Each structure stands twice: as C-alpha cells, then as structure tokens.
A and B are shown apart, each in its own frame.
Chain A
Amino acid sequence: MNTESAMPFEYNQVHFEELKKQQRKKVFLKGLLFLLPSLLLFSIFIFYPMIRTVYLSFFLTNQAGITTVFVGMQNYIDIFTSPIFMKSLTSTFLFVLFTVPGTIIVSLFLAVIANEKIKGIGFFRMIFSSTMGVSVAAASVFWLFLFHPSIGFFNKILVTFGFDKIGWLTNPEWALASVSLSTIWMNIGFTFLIILGGLQSIDSHLYESANIDGAGFFYKLRRITIPMLSPTLFFVVTVSIINSFQTFGQIDMLTKGGPSNETNLIVYSIYREAFVNYQYGTASAQAVILFIIILIMTVIQFKLGERKVHYQ
C-alpha cells in the first residue's frame, strides 16, 4: 500500500526534476546564444592569440615566427637572468609610478577649477581636454621639438636663465622623467574629461548644505568631492595603470628605448625582441609576464581599492 502510493509521487518528483533540468538547459542555451557574438569575437581576437602567445613562449622561432626548437621554460629563465629585461621591468614600474599619480593629480586640479560656473568656462574645458584629440605620434613629434638638445624650447629657456643645457632625451638621468612628462601631458585630456564628468554628477544639494554649515573650500573638497568622486577616480586609476604598463608610441618616437635602455619599457622591449631581433619566443615570454603583472595589479586594486570606493 505504502509503496503503491509512493510510486506515483516519486515518479512525479523525478519528472519534475527532469523538467526543471530541461528548463535550465534551455535557459542556459538561450543565454549562450546571447553571449555567442561576444564569445566568438573574444575567442578569435583575445583567447586564441593569448593561448598562442603562451604556446610560442616555450619555443624558439625562425623569422616568420614559426616554431623550430622546443625549449620549455628556458625563455623565461633567460629573460629573468637578463639584466636588460630586469632593467626594463624597473623602468616600467618607475614609469607607472611617475605618470599615474602625476596625471591624476593634474587632471583633478584642472577638473576642480573647470567645474566652477563662470562665463566662458566651456572654452577652458575644451582647452584642458584638447590633448585627447592629439594622437600619440603627433604629440611625440611636438615634444621632440621641445626636448631638442640645441634648438629645443626647454634648453633655450635654461640658457636664457644662465643654466646648463640638459640632454632631456639623451641623458640617462633625465630620459625617463622627460618621457613621463610628455606622457602625463598626453593623458591629461582623457582623465580630465572623465573626472569632470564625475564632478558634475555630484548632487549640488550636498554643497549647499555644506555652505550653510559654513564649510570651507578644502573641507568640501576633502569631505564631499573626493568621496563622491571615488568611483570615477577608481576607474581612472585602474585604466591609467593599465595604459601606463602598455605604453609604446611615445617611446618609439622619442627615445627608441635609449639612452642605455633607460626608457626600454616592457612593451617596447617586446616589440624589439619580436620585430627587430625576430625572437618571437622570448618576446612571447615577456608578453606573458606583462599579462601576469597587469592581472595581479588589477586584482590587488579591486581587492584593496574597491573597499574605499563609495558608490551612491
């Protein structure tokens, strides 16, 4: 009796489970269908090249990039024992350290002053964001003139005030700083625009109440502007760091990695290894290292930085 009554119930249960499973499968397939275009594009343009890079990093290659000899981890061992690659890593970290805070502080300053409502502010906003419209190549040529050792603007000023000329791009002590300076200038436009957007979305009531309470400019900046801006700043910091790690154009135009490899940033080093020396294996190994570094940096940022971010 007992078993008889339980049978249909169990049967029902199984049937229901089955249905549910089928339903889930359907939903999953539907979801996959929606994801398909991006998955397809990602696999072709991101995942396949990435896997291929990892694969190449275990080989030596001929000039067409076709693998010839399997060397296992040797490429990795080689680059980590090479003083040139280690220098390239140090330079890259220094470069990030110079450019990211520099860009953000300058852009934040410009955005705060451009956020005032005065007549003709649109003109200033346009000027401050204009570097976004200048390509890296054009900007580099322009900076090349400024940095020129004998007829450059900077050295002319130095000479007028009675100082010695500086080899901006040829002196190892200055080169990285010079490239950083021009990079900060190039990045200001974009960062400024994003931060200004963030500033304008802050509710003005907050400032009004603060004004009634008699808060000063800096107090408002510290207690209202920065916290309310934190999601924007977080975004800008993440993007800038990744961008800095991937800097290539200005290095190629301004210094070609010189003097004495002082500005041989990692992406330039990869380019040189692959397309000048035709060592696609070592280049791939370096690219994998760069990927890991950026991955770690981003994870750390999300773990540490996001806690401090205040989302409205």
Chain B
Amino acid sequence: MIKKFFALLMASLLVILAGCGSNQTSSTEKGSTSEKDDKQVVTFWHSMSGVPQETLNSIVEEYNNSQDKVQVNAEFQGTYEESLPKFHSVGGTKDAPTMIQVQEIGSMSMINSGNIEAIQKFIDAENYDMSGLEENIVNYYKVDDKFYSMPFNSSTPVMYYNKDAFKKAGLDPEKAPETFEEVEEAGKKIVKSNDQMKGFALQAYGWLFEELLANQGGLLLNNDNGRTDTPTAVEFDNEKGKSIFEWAKRMTDAGTFANYGTNSDNMLSGFLAGDVAMFLQSSASSRDVIDNAPFEVGVAFLPHPEAEERQGVAIGGASLWMSSGKEEAEQNAAWEFMKYLQTPAVQAKWHVGTGYFAINPAAYDEQVVKDAYKEMPQLQVSVQQLQATKPSFATQGALMDMIPAERKIIETALETVYNRGDVDEAFNSAVEQVNAAIEQSNAARGK
C-alpha cells in the first residue's frame, strides 16, 4: 500500500518537474525568437479594467502591429491601490516592469521610491515638445519644473443626472443644478415627485472630497498643497472643508440623500436602476453610464457652495512611469511607446472609447471625436470643465505621499455623517487623524 503510494507520489513529482522543465524551455524559446526578430520587449503594468481595458488593449495591439521594433506587453496588475505596492516591492530588481501606470496621488511616493527614471531625461535628450499637452495636465505633473512621468489618462469628476427624472419633477432637464443649495432643492423636488427615488448620492470617496474642496479654491495641505515644500499639516480645517460635510448632513436630514457607502458599483447600478437622480463620479465612466442607462443621462459641472465661486477641478487619473535600472534600449523603446500614446489619433480613440479626456488637445479636432460629440454631447462636459478651471495651487491638486491614508480617513468621517453622526465631531476627528498621519509620514522619512 505504502509502496504504491510512494510510486504514485514519485510519478506525480516527475510530472510536475517535467512540467516546470518544459515551461522553462518554452519561455527561453520565446526569448530567443524575439531576439531573432530584433524586437525590444517592453512590459507595461496598468490598472485599467472594463471598457477602458478593452480600449487600451486595442491601442497596444495597433502599436505592436504598426512597427517591428518594439513589442509592448500590457499586463493588468489590479487596481491602482494594488499595483503600486507591487511595484514598490519589485522596484529596482529585474522583475520590475519597464513602465507602470500610477494614479496621480501615487506620484510623490514614486518619486521618493528612487526606482524611477524621470522622463525629463528623455525630453531633454531629444528636445521633445511637451507644450502641446493640455495646460492643466502639465501644471499637475510638472513637479519642481521637471516631468517625472508621462501624463496618460486624466479625468475630472462630473455630476451625472437622470434627465427623465428631472422632467418628471418639473425641473429643467437641460439646466443642471450648479450649487450645493440648488442640488438640495432639486433633490427635494425629485423625492416629492417619486418617493422611490432619492435625490443625490455622494460616494464616500476621498478624491471627491478633494475635488469639491478644490472647486471652492480650498487647499488640502499646507505649504501650498505641498507644491512649495513638504506639507506639515492640513489646511482644509476651515469652512470650505466643513461645508462638504454639512451639505451631506442637510441632505441626509431632508431624506433626499442616497447612501451607497464607499461602493461606487452599487451607486452606479442604483443610478441605472432609477433609485437616485444625481451622483458624482469620474468622467472616465461617461461611456459606461451613457451606454447602459435606459433613460437620458445629463452630465454637468461639479457643484460648489453658493458662498464660494467656482474655481474648477484638479485632474485625476494616472500617468506613466519609467523604471530605473533598465537597459537603455528598453527604456528608449518604452519612451517611443509613451510618445505614441500622446499622438492626437490615439488620444482621440482613448477619449471617445472611455471618457478620459484627451491629454493632447489636438485630438479634439479628429473626426472620430467630432462624430462622437454629435452622438453624445455629454462627453464634452469634462473637457469644458477642465478648460474653465482657474490655475491655482488649489486646482493643481495636493502632493504628498500620505494622501492614500488621508482619503481613507475622510471616507470614514463622511460615512459617519451619512449615518447621522455629528458633523463637528466627525470633521474634527478627521482633521486630527490626517495631521497625525502627516506627522508620522514625515517622521518615517527620517527628516
């Protein structure tokens, strides 16, 4: 019996070993063929899923077919939050990808990691012209007058609303509410006309809080949002920051607020099912929302409190980073691909296929975009919102490596308010916690 078992064990081990062996040979074979073809392989980690992933894959495929020097392998590595720690743990080793897509708040953490090659080096080497890019994007990604990463997918938050529900409630479907107060009023009318529908949903999401703050000209962190020096404390601990909490509180009390917690999928499906009439989300979801809604969808600018003037939004989204310690040929190949992604034709396809806006404004003159606008004028709103933005430290966006922690803290505080918690208590405790996080983060850097 035991002998038989051992024989079986041996046999299975053999199979496993053989499997490993053949795997290895096949991968080396692959390597040698690519050398024969003289194709430089570039590994590209990204975090695009759903419709954007399909669009990205088709762009990569077109690039690979368009020339015979570079082979880009796009690999999905989970959400931004998942791929960044992965990069940090393999950064500097040979397992690191040639290039990686990192969301905007990961920028400082990438720069501090020391495992990246600032793309300014490549820009200088061939005097590449970056001035063709959207001004606000350049403002965001230029740190200390230097480009560390190549902007790629950028979006801003916009307000989506259900036009049919607006009509039913006697509101003008072509004129979306612009201020916090107008959103509240519209919400009340919608609930009155249909008691199965809530007025407004604000996902407990730190990014939306930051954007609503920037739209009032409020700074998140001191030292000019971390743009002039490393922040040492928060700067949203004022009326501007609090107004967002109070707004949510008033709507919760009025019974017009739909609480989906931190889950954006639930909020989206709630909107599509007609459970809520207005919500805020990234313009990157435009195509998804417009294509899937059984009613007419309106897209509008981000609301602001009546007392404050609209300042505009900071861009969200991600940029492409180059690994350091790679061979020059490999880096140059990745650089070529980065430049390809910026071309108007590719950006046009990207914009229309997803709802991210084109980082290269020349893309808006492409025929694909013009056709799409005729069919879906809503796609234009995020572009207009960005172009109406007033450049300032507030709309440039905050820069620090502890922003992911800040977002979690704000999300918790928002949820407390959604569940009828006290505004002052939640807000003050959030300020305290973010300050502590900043302190610890600065201490950990040993400065």
Chain A residues proximal to chain B, CB less than 8 Å = 60-65, 68-69, 84, 144, 148-151, 167, 169-172, 255-256, 258-261, 272, 275-279, 281-282
Contact = CB atoms under 8 A, between A and B. Distances in A.
Contact of A276 (B91, B258, B260, B405): B405
B143 to A, nearest CB: 17
Contact of A64 (B88, B402, B418, B445): B88
A201 to B, nearest CB: 21
Contact of B404 (A64, A69, A276, A281): A276
A62 B259 contact: no
B81 A171 contact: no
Interface string B399-419: 001101100100110011011
Nearest to A169: B261
Interface string B259-281: 11111001001100101000000
Interface string B269-310: 110010100000000000000000000000000000000000
A305 to B, nearest CB: 34
A150 B112 contact: no
A278 B87 CA distance: 13
Interface stretch (B68-76, B333-341, B436-444): B436-444
Contacts of A150: 266, 269-270, 273, 275
Contacts of A148: 266, 269-270
Given A62-B444, A69-B446, A151-B270, A260 B421 contact: yes
Contacts of B405: 276-277, 279
Interface of A is mostly: loop
Contacts of A61: 444
A260 B444 contact: no
Contacts of B66: none
B113 interface: yes
A276 B441 CA distance: 12
B266 A149 contact: yes
A245 B402 CA distance: 28
A271 to B, nearest CB: 10
Interface string B89-125: 1010000000000000000010011000000000000
A100 to B, nearest CB: 26
B270 A60 contact: no
Given A62-B446, A69-B446, 5 more contacts: A148-B269, A150-B270, A258-B261, A260-B412, A277-B408
Contacts of B112: 62-63
Considering residues B81, B88, B258, B266, which has the most beta carbons from chain A within 10 angstroms of its beta carbon?
B266
Nearest to A151: B273
Contacts of B421: 260
A207 to B, nearest CB: 32
Interface of B is mostly: helix
Contacts of B275: 149-151
B85 interface: yes
A167 B261 contact: yes
A259 B415 contact: yes
A40 B197 CA distance: 62
Contacts of A144: 266
B348 interface: no
A222 B260 CA distance: 46
B261 A60 contact: no
Contacts of B401: 63, 278
B109 to A, nearest CB: 5
A281 B444 contact: yes
B204 interface: yes
Given A275-B85, A276-B404, A258 B444 contact: no
A63 B419 contact: no
A140 to B, nearest CB: 12
Contacts of B269: 148, 150-151
B273 A261 contact: no
Contacts of B259: 149, 167, 170
A172 B259 CA distance: 12
Contacts of B433: 84
B444 A279 contact: yes
7 contacts: A60-B443, A62-B444, A64-B89, A148-B266, A169-B263, A258-B415, A276-B405
Contact of A63 (B88, B270, B412, B443): B88
A45 B252 CA distance: 50
Contacts of B258: 149
A260 B415 contact: yes
Considering residues A170, A275, A281, which has the most beta carbons from chain B within 10 angstroms of its beta carbon?
A170
Interface in B175-192: none
A261 B444 contact: no
A169 B109 CA distance: 32
Contact of B408 (A65, A259, A276): A276
A261 B405 CA distance: 13
B366 to A, nearest CB: 38
B91 A277 contact: no
B418 A69 contact: no
B34 to A, nearest CB: 31
Given A63-B112, A170-B418, A172-B419, A149 B260 contact: yes
A148 B260 CA distance: 9
Nearest to B274: A150
A62 B89 contact: no
Nearest to A262: B415
Nearest to B407: A276
Contacts of B109: 63, 278
Given A150-B275, A276-B404, A65 B444 contact: no
Closest 7 A-B residue pairs measured CB to CB? A170-B261, A150-B275, A60-B444, A277-B405, A259-B415, A68-B446, A275-B85
A65 B92 CA distance: 14
Contacts of B419: 170-172, 259-260
Given A170-B259, A258-B261, A277 B445 contact: no
A150 B201 CA distance: 13
B81 A276 contact: yes
Given A169-B263, A170-B418, A64 B204 contact: no
Contacts of B415: 170, 172, 258-260
Nearest to A59: B444
A258 B81 contact: no
Contacts of A255: 261-262
A147 to B, nearest CB: 9
A275 B78 CA distance: 14
B446 A258 contact: no
